[in-house]
Structures are given as structure tokens and as C-alpha cells.
Amino acid sequence: MKKIVVLFVLFLSLVSCIEIWDDLTIHNDGSGTLRYKINLSSSKVKVNSILALDTIDGKKVPSIQEISSKVGDFARTLDAQTGISNVVIEENYTDFILKFSCDFTSIMALQSGLANAIEAVSKEKLGPEADEIWITWDGNKLKRSIPAFARAKMKAFKSKELELLKEGSYTTISRFDRQIDRFDNPLGTLSKNKQAVMMKSSTYSVKENQDLLENTIYLISTKN
């Protein structure tokens, strides 16, 4: 999921160490919780130096107040979406850590809710990619990929910025109420209780191969 808060894209392209966590829980009925974290604490000195500027590379640098206002707008817009509830955002502008979570009634509600909220806050039409299905769940199988609107953001990184991404990491976790039978992506690591799969890569590698963290996870059937 990558880039839920649009104003953070500027910082993601300029700081040297970016840690992103994408943690998805799916219950047997298809409802669940999404948790997402962007951690720029290792680059907070550079982030503060960027915030001290008026513009960089021709782009206006938002103030912390402007960023926080947009984050609040995103939270309120998302919380108003059908099938979305308990939207919580934690903002730490000392260490520059942003945490986000929400509950959803279905995978489709999550996808449409996020697309609508991002579009409303960014004031930009996402286009056909907003309708792309990037998570599917049939009760026994979960398939995940990076959404098209996030892939478009990653493609926008300039060549001079790519080296910086090698120091960052992207971690994705999928959790379930019951045990996992198998999964397709060899980067996956199964938890001890066999109810979660974690995958981790550098943000640079994800940018270069946007299918890198795509995975299909098969659960043990509830039927005897």
C-alpha cells in the first residue's frame, strides 16, 4: 500500500533511510484491519533540513502544520467511507514516524475506501488504476499486489534518487485466523503459529520490480 499519505511522497524521494510496514489482518469472514507505518527517524536530520526550505526541485515544501492538516483530512475522509471504521493515525513529527490503522468489513470496502480518500485529499483523479483489484480474498486464498496508483508514484522517482532507496526497507505482513497451507512468493517467511506470512525487501528493489512482493497465500480450508 504504499504511500497512503500523499504529502509524504516528497520526503520518501529525498531521505536516505525509509522504513515502511504494511500489516494486513484478514478474518475468516473477510473483514479485517490494515496497519501501515512510515518511519523516517533515521533521516530526521535531513527531513528537518528539507522542512527549513521554501522549495526543493521546484516543489513547495509543506510545513508540518500543512502535513498534519492533510493527514487529518485523509483520516476524516476515510472514516466516512462505507465499510471503513476505527480510523486511527498517530503522528510523530519529532522522529517523523507516521502510523495508520483502520478496520474494514471487506477487502472491496478497503480498496475503494482508500482510493476515494487518497483522491479526495490529493485533489487528483487516480484514473483507471483506482478501479484495479490489488487484493482478492475468496475465504481460503488471499492474493496481494502493489496497487496501480502506488506503482505510478514509485515510477516517478528520478534516477538520482534511486540510490537513496537502497538504504530503506519495505515489510509486508499478512495475518489470518487460521493456519496457512502454503504461499507462492519465495521471499515469504511463515510465522511459528503458521497464521502469518512476512516478506521484506529494500524499497529500491520494490521500485525496480513492482511485482517483487506480490503473493498468493493459501489457507487450510475450514471444511473437513
pLDDT, tens digit, for every residue of 159-182? 555 555 666 788 889 999 999 999
Q: Is residue 1 part of a domain?
A: no
Please indicate, yes or no, whether the overall pTM of this predicted structure exceeds 0.85. no
Q: Is residue 68 part of a domain?
A: yes
Q: Is residue 80 part of a domain?
A: yes
Q: Is residue 224 part of a domain?
A: no
Residue 122 has pLDDT above 80, yes or no: no
Helix axes of 107-122 and 64-79: crossing angle, nearest 10 degrees: 140
pLDDT tens digit sequence for 92-111 = 999 889 899 999 999 999 99
- The count of structural domains within the chain is 1
The one-character DSSP state at 136 is E
Q: Is residue 2 part of a domain?
A: no
Which positions ≥6 away from 175 have C-beta within 8 Å?
Answer: 23, 24, 25, 26, 195, 196
Task: Give residue 166's domain range.
Answer: 8-219
Q: Is residue 134 part of a domain?
A: yes
> Can you read off the three cell numbers belonging to residue 15?
531521505
How many whole angstroms separate alpha carbon 62 and alpha carbon 36? 22
pLDDT band, very low/low/confident/very high, at 199 (cuts 50, 70, 90): very high
Q: Is residue 110 part of a domain?
A: yes
How many whole angstroms separate alpha carbon 85 and alpha carbon 198? 25
pLDDT tens digit sequence for 28-59 = 999 999 999 888 887 787 778 878 888 766 77
> Can you read off the three cell numbers belonging to residue 50?
528539507
Say if residue 57 is exposed, middle or buried (CB neighbours under 10 Å; 0-12, 13-18, 19+). Answer: exposed
Q: How far is CA 214 from CA 26, 83, 129, in A?
A: 17, 25, 17
Q: Is residue 3 part of a domain?
A: no
